[in-house]
Structure 1
Amino acid sequence: MTRVQLSLRARGLKNKASGKNISDPFAVVTLLAPQSSPQSSGGAPQVLGRTETIYDDLSPDWIKTFTFNYDLGLQQYFVVTIYDEKEKHKNSDNLGKHKEIAQSKFELGSILGSPGNINAKSVSSGGIVYASVEESAFDARKLLLAVRGRKLANVENTLFGKSDPFFEIYAKKHSPHGDSWDAVYRSEYIRSNLSPEWKAASVSIETLCGSDLDRPIKISVFDFSKKGIFTPMGSCETTVNDLVNRSNTKQPSNFKMLEGKLVIDKAWMIGDSGDAGLAGKVSNLKMSEAAPVFSTSSAPPRVASAKKPSFVDYLSGGCELNLAVAIDFTGSNGDPRRPGTLHHMNPSSSNSYQKVITAIGSILEKYDSDHRFPVMGFGAKYGGVIQHCFQCGPTPEVVGVNGIMDAYNSVFKTPLTMSGPTVFTKVIQVSAAHAIQAQRAANQVGKQVYSVLLILTDGAVSDVMATKQAIGEVCNAPLSIVIVGIGNADFSAMQYLDDNSVGRDIVQFVESQRHLHSKGSLTAATLDEIPRQLVQYFSMNGILPGSKVVLREEDIAVSSDEEEIDLGLSINAEGEIAVNGGGYYSDGYDMPAVSYPPVSSQPHTPGAPTQPFTPGVPPQPYMPGPSSQPYTPGAPSQPYTPGMPSLPASGVPSQPYAPVASSQPYAPGGPSQPYAPGAPSQQPYAPGAPSQPYAPGGPSQPYAPGA
């Protein structure tokens, strides 16, 4: 779990003010709750709070930020509702007194997976709302400042008026385009007073300086104007350490302004143990009062310790997640034409394979810019030859979750015999080669890629120790392996692979049956270890996160909400903003938006399949593409060469499988006998000891399995 903070801004909002006035926008952020099944309590929607009001501005940049707990495996939706504050109800939380301007829904993972960690949504009433996210380390300390001005310049343009001063505190942000100052705190303004005493300021240490107490900060004073145009009265730069150390030695910090001085009489930090309520107690502190005394444990160190890179740091630097999917087509899944079997397709509901693909794929695709994924199958026979790794679909990579689903469905239109044994090793080797190749190519252009192999299987592997060895041989590749058990088989061998890793731990096993009540429960369990595994891989190879991607506003892709937002806000009995209707999103296994081939509910009749098979269109061997260097997992006796798998789906490395054309439609399992998955008319295939070399189409050399 990682803490992140959300920042908001808007551009070109619709003016809801009357006459020649301009709206004064503020925003309310509401975290939506999953609408789970009765077996799971998804909680209730929660209002996280409201921003400050930006006066006379239809393109506001709000300073107030909002903190979330981020988890890769959980979808977190929130709604931003923007209101025009009415003058006579200024600072009132009674939203019925204000006019709604716009409303947009965002998903936290989608923001973090986007370039620059920012999303933009157009609103139907006009304008664009921007939501950006960055990591907020769990540093609960706050800096408290007692600030006053002394004989400040009067920059008021009227003849007899005086300035209405307020101050802002800025954090220094670094980017490839140069440093910038971001406002993180704004005080109240003091009307007509050139020697103002403001309420004590409270600022998060993490937000202000990222826990680096020697990072420069800036304080600027302005003359407030209802028109939103603030006249500078002076500014200064300092550090948290400098302010606190001066305060500890009873030396006020005096900073020269355009005229007069900005004086910080007291500066101190509070933490989260025993003094969490003190921030409220000092909110009205004045200069004549003594600052609270805190334990020496609150004293800041002079040098902050180096921060270890995090998963969010790598995402912010542009690291992408590549997903590969491998699907079990062994005979133990049952006849896919029979209802109740694991691969059975029903146009009105999803089978278990489809549920897992859509649930996990819909999350991971947000972290891949091109949304292209390889889909592989294993455990089926073509031409009587068992294939432990073959391409699903007509292309080596498919686009999006719908593409994965189409590739999965297409396998049942090919001349396969669902057979066995269950072997993962080939899929693991091919995926590791693909992962290494992808990271190598990304590194050449200054980017980073980490791969996730999702294996869906209905049973245990036939050779646990061989699988464990194969995992150990690829444990240093930029790869995580997630195995999801489908159905009710004995998965103890799969759990063994999860619990007994060789080298770097890259395996996570989850039984899907335990998470049928909630899609969020499944994705949280399956993706739980990936952030740690990614950071571990890059750290052990000395690869630091890239510089945070910074986009110009005009380069940020703008989308729109595809559905109406069901959310009502009001004031509860305690006087707080609360949800009075809606605020939920579906957490069920939604039906994928793809078309399925018709599947008969009756037993298959040989010679009358629902769709005739077209010879010459079998699945192709999966080829991850050429690589400049051979992949060597664990230094085997022969180098592994990506792009030339030794067990292609067709059974013929040099030529695709081309069954003899027939005027009759294809009848799986042979026309004389009904189709029996896992029990073809031929004798079971014995890898490594065939009675005759298999030579479909008459190639120049016989096919030699295992060589």
Structure 2
Amino acid sequence: INQSHLSEIINQRPPALRIETLQVKYHGIFPFGSMRQVRSEFGRTEVIDNTRNPDFVRKFVLDFFFEEKQNLRFDVYNVDSRSCNISKHDFLGQTFCTLGEIIGSTGGRLEKTLSGIPGKKCGAIIFTAEELSNCRDIATMQLCANKLDKKDFFGKSDPFLVFYRSNEDGTFTICHKTEVIKNTLNPVWQPFTIPVRALCNGDYDRTVKVDVYDWDRDGSHDFIGEFTTSYRELSRGQNQFNVYEVRHDTGAVTLLSFKVESEYTFPTSLHYMSPYQMNAYAMALKAVGEIIQDYDSDKLFPAYGFGAKLPPDGKISHAFPLSGDNENPNCVGIEGVLEAYFQSLRTVQLYGPTNFAPVINKVANCAAEITDGSQYFVLLMITDGVISDMVQTKEAVVNAASLPLSIIIVGVGPAEFDAMEELDGDEVRVSSRGRFAERDIVQFVPFRDYIDRSGNQVLSMARLAKDVLAEIPDQLLSFMKSGGVEPRPALSSSPLPELHRHI
């Protein structure tokens, strides 16, 4: 399903009521004749702020079987918080159809009325579907702009770009949005990666339309202008042909760089960033992080990578901040951690060996400064390799066992993780140089055990989070008991002291 678009047919809502955000939830696919159709969530779009007519960027790739009835249900929600629990949000309507209905519609475009709220018209949702080409190339490009139109009364514009692929029926489908660059008429956007089939479906001469907008907080983004190009033009790279005048003489957009690589080589890396789904690293971060972040007051999480050559001199590091700032490794929320992770993949060169001890010692040093029970640290480590410094890692774990710290290790990929099981001291307590760890503080799980066979990421993430976090409360209590830390009495005039958990 290459596009989903929601529109109000008749505005029945009071003008003062603004829908802050909208989200579509896609549900399971079931074979024709199934006696027991147990529905499961397939995926979610991104959230579009402050609009009743969102045009969603996120696409969903489904396998189509002509001989089967593949049932789909679409639920629409007004998202009021960061909670992943869909019951916490306002239900706006739903519709049912089959994948065959969408594909069989004229031009692969199907409009369905939303229902589900008695006595109310809920609007409509539009689906478009297109068969993906066999083109497996990935394009990476960067653009900038100069002398854009000033749209904000008290400042400069906050520009961003929206890319559209033209469809065979002459319509356009949104395929990418850049980030917003605040308060400038001369923005330079970050490089971004997009499958060539998402940009033009393998037709190198197909029109690509680019709109330029000034971002507004209330969602009523100001249109600055537009231009058109094609994959063939873009592939020429930086030259005089790839400087595009934006309509009404409102500046120009310039292509700074453009490169193409074959996607066939990418999926061999577990860090591969698919435009359609998160990789295992991101899924583990999101699954665990979104739960434990609720117990941290400032939502600032230091995030580190280990095993990479860093720019500009290629120095190997086993504990470098994903933010790129040695003075401030903190990321704002788990979304900030994910953003820093994705950005670091573009700037560092992954490199062995896989050393755990440096990161464990770094976090342990922070935990050692606070042993009065007011804070507790959770270190989440995600790795795809065999530990190269097992002796040093064991020593680091034994030393950290007396501190307010728990360590979660998620192994991704097909590697053998026997050594990880040794660190998970459920059966035999970890020891180093004849000294045993005071507490069991390590929980290890192989991510492959949580891959849902139907490809449902949401279920995989939920099962993973449940299992890896199950031991944390007992580990926390064991630290408090071993240190003689008594529970603090409840205070009537102020909230209870919050438990800080850090990644």
Task: Give the TM-score normalised by structure 2.
Answer: 0.48
Q: Which has the higher contact order (CA 8 A, sep 6+)?
A: 1
- The structure with the largest alpha-carbon Rg is 1
